[in-house]
Amino acid sequence: MMNSSPFRPTGLSLFLLLAWTGLTTAPAQEKQPPPDTEKKQIELERKQLELEKKQLDLQRRQLQLEEAARKELQLQETEKAVTMKLESDVLFDFGKAEIKPEAEQTLDKVGTVIAQFPEGRVRIEGHTDSKGSRKVNRELSKRRAEAVKDWLVKKKDIPESIITTVGFGEMKPAAPNASPDGRQQNRRVEITVEK
């Protein structure tokens, strides 16, 4: 006896039926990423956030270092120039013109500032307090300015041709010479970089 069902699947129709069923369910499967891909995406986003945090930390540190250098160098900036004032007691022993080894970090920062203005001109002024004779003070201040120039040329590759030096001795005091504190302020090297 024959089956009363009007449709009898053949091999080809069975294949087409299965293929059609697979097609109808395939888009639903494609919409959801595999769990591994989702985990990798979350991990990448976490790493990106960590990198952004590190970058912000580095920027904050850079600002702190710049502020510390600004204070150490007593840096003042105008539209036309940057001026740094260094206490001679930091750079030199009393009455000497040889740069102390511990002053090299400070001068390294000076060189970094100068390097930011490759077209600029640099003027280095030496100053002393009023102790001693004017002639000796003027000569000492000139030798100190020259010592700073020589260090910057040799250690920081600043072109010698852009640097001029002058020794004022006690002629341009920053403070009264009546007190030890005032005399200390007067013993200084001022470096001006024209932008």
For residues 97 and 144, the answer to whether their CB atoms sit within 8 Å is yes
pLDDT, tens digit, 9 for 90 and up, residues 17-51: 555 555 555 455 556 667 788 888 889 999 999 99
Phi, psi of 78, deg, nearest 5: -120, -175
- Helices 104-115/35-72 angle, 10° precision: 110
Can you tell me the distance from the alpha carbon of 1 to that of 75, in angstroms, rounded to the nearest whole number? 108
Can you tell me the distance from the alpha carbon of 94 to that of 87, in angstroms, rounded to the nearest whole number? 11
Can you tell me the distance from the alpha carbon of 117 to that of 130, in angstroms, rounded to the nearest whole number? 34
For residues 86 and 73, the answer to whether their CB atoms sit within 8 Å is yes
pTM: 0.68
The order of strands in the sheet holding 163-169 is 76-77, 81-87, 188-194, 121-127, 163-169
pLDDT, tens digit, 9 for 90 and up, residues 135-176: 999 999 999 999 999 999 999 999 999 999 999 999 999 999
Q: How confident is the model at residue 67 (pLDDT cuts 50, 70, 90)?
A: confident
State mean pLDDT over 113-127: 95
**Average model confidence (pLDDT) for the chain?**
86
Least-confidence region, from 53-62, 113-122, 131-140, 147-156: 53-62
The predicted structure's pLDDT at residue 1: 47
